[in-house]
Amino acid sequence: MWTISKDKSWLNLEKEFDWVKRMEEVPQDKIYHAEGNVAIHTQMVLAALENEPGFQKLGAQEKEILWASALLHDVEKYSTTVLEEDGSISSKGHAKKGAMKARQFLYRDLPAPFYIREQIVALVRHHGLPIWLFEKPDPLKALIMASMDLNTEWLALLARADMLGRICEDQEAMLYRIDCFEEFCREQGCWGQARSFVSEDARMYYLQKENAYVDYVPFDTPLMEMVLMSGLPGAGKDTFIKKNFPEMEVISLDDIRREWGIKPTDKSGNGRVIQEAKERARVLLRKKISFVWNATNTTSQMRMQLIELFSTYKAKVRVVYIESPYADLCRQNRGREAIVPDQVLEKLINKLEVPALWEGHTVSYFT
């Protein structure tokens, strides 16, 4: 069983992980956290989580996932906390940045199995959703997307522990919001599971269109398939393509760079490479020819720009994510023809966003 630490005493955690000690340095606004700094709050959250009946019913590995998520949920308040002009303290963006930190840590420093790591990452990313869901522009769509990322029962447990592990005047009102979140999950078929759709096309239509009816069934069907590869340099994308898509057309950014003599570190040159690749893609899309787009595509923004383009031409989007363990990745990168400098590879790891299940018609993980 994977565990973040066999000895979970706070003193041991401080000795084992430098970021745990740093929590003591992070102040919090007394209105919302009268208990004190982030370290005090995190210890209270862990204690509250262990007292939750729902947590106590979980299996050992599931408890470990939630415990690690609670430990990490405010890890990036260290870098995001600021003193505002009015004297208040805020930490905007700490959940998103904390999720990135959690992934880096659980990939590079304390390797966790892929599923366990990504559940922890998603719980850290969305730990405030049960409180703020109904303030989202589209609460139902936000819930459905989150339900595809994580177990919403676990999320509610984490959110409840997060609220119980603090001293604030609005605790009762916030706990009521979590109750409402749970009821909404049940109503929408998202409690402990992803919301189901009649087809991949129906799900993609709903997620891509504004104000779409959640149970609408589109009449149009995809005209061709587009495979979007995603993975760090050296993960094995080229080998995977040769083995699994030997007959398909391939648009490779690395191939275009080699054709034009452009280095991966050449930013202006890379812009021209991407535009050329998109134009080649448009040619195939107009002809309704299926193809593979082979590039790192390590951030959600990169992928969504491409998916929007391919969807315009009514292509079925299949996202394939390839991952190798950190040590293997570094070794494989050094063996590539186009070696990515170590510092560039580390930057890519730090910015890595694993494709979510809602990004394409199908999303597959090979780790």
- Non-local CB neighbours of 299 within 8 Å, separated by 6+ positions: 351, 352, 353
| 10-187 fold | Hypothetical protein af1432 (1.10.3210)
Domain 224-366 has CATH 3.40.640.10: no
Q: Write out pLDDT tens, residues 301-351.
A: 999 999 999 999 999 999 999 999 999 999 888 877 777 888 989 999 999
pLDDT at 333: 84
- Angle, vertex CA 132, rays to CA 164 and CA 194, nearest 5: 95
Q: What is the pLDDT of residues 125-152, one digit of tens each?
A: 999 999 999 999 999 999 999 999 999 9
Domain with CATH 1.10.3210 in the chain: 10-187
Report how far residue 329's alpha carbon sits from residue 127's, in angstroms, rounded to the nearest whole number: 30
Give 131's contacts (C-beta < 8 A, 6+ positions apart): 159, 163, 174, 177, 178, 181
* pLDDT band, very low/low/confident/very high, at 238 (cuts 50, 70, 90): very high
Rounded Cα distance between 33 and 4, Å, is: 26
Predicted confidence band at 189 (pLDDT cuts at 50, 70, 90)? very high
Question: What percent of the chain is predicted at pLDDT more than 70?
Answer: 100
- Confidence at residue 220, expressed as pLDDT on a 0 to 100 scale: 83
For the residues 283-304, what does the mean pLDDT come to? 96
Amino acid sitting at position 27: P
Please provide the size of the chain in residues: 367
CATH 3.40.50.300 domain residues, the chain:
224-366
Q: Give the separation between CA 129 and CA 136, rounded to whole angstroms.
A: 9
- 249 forms beta bridges with 291
Q: Is the pLDDT of residue 225 over 90?
A: yes
Write the pLDDT tens digit of every residue in 14-64: 999 999 999 999 999 999 999 999 999 999 999 999 999 999 999 999 999
- C-alpha distance across the termini of the chain, in Å: 18
Determine the Cα–Cα distance for residues 174 and 143; give it in Å rounded to an integer: 18
